[in-house]
Amino acid sequence: MHRITILYGAPADPEAFERHYTEVHVPLASTLPGLRRFTRSHPLGMGSAAPAPYFFFVAELWFDDEDALKSALKSPEMAETAADAQTFDVASMTMFTGEVVESVF
């Protein structure tokens, strides 16, 4: 599958961020054409270490293939979703895409 990963840095107001993310952003992102899965995770550090500050929250949007991902990126739904993301009061926002390959073992 192909995936868009978004790493969010710490929000100024974590509670407000979670609320807006759940109530507004997830419904918007869920309209993206070709979206197969939408996974979220709150990173924990390893052992006693806190995770880096730009790893407050990770969201992943999964698509069947590269074409589906590229179509979603160019869609009006993505424009609306991205516009909403611009309102987030977070320390950083890092996006990348890539094919996700299963290791055979």
Contact positions vs a second copy (CB under 8 A):
3, 5, 26-27, 29-30, 37-46, 51-52, 55, 58, 73, 94-103, 105
- Choice between 12 and 100, CB closer to a second copy: 100
Q: Strands 57-63, 35-41: parallel, antiparallel or unpaired by DSSP?
A: antiparallel
* CA dihedral (37, 42, 44, 50) positive or negative: positive
Nearer to a second copy, 3 or 20 (CB): 3
C-beta of 16 vs 44, nearer to a second copy: 44
Q: How far is the CB of 105 from a second copy (least distance, A)?
A: 3
Taking the complex as a whole, how short is the minimal distance between the CB of residue 42 and a second copy, in angstroms? 6
How many other β-carbons are positioned within 10 Å of the β-carbon of residue 8?
21
From the number of C-beta atoms within 10 Å of its C-beta (0-12, 13-18, 19+), residue 28 rates as middle
Minimum Å gap between C-beta 89 and a second copy is 21
**Angle subtended at Cα 23 by Cα 43 and Cα 10, rounded to the nearest 5 degrees:** 30
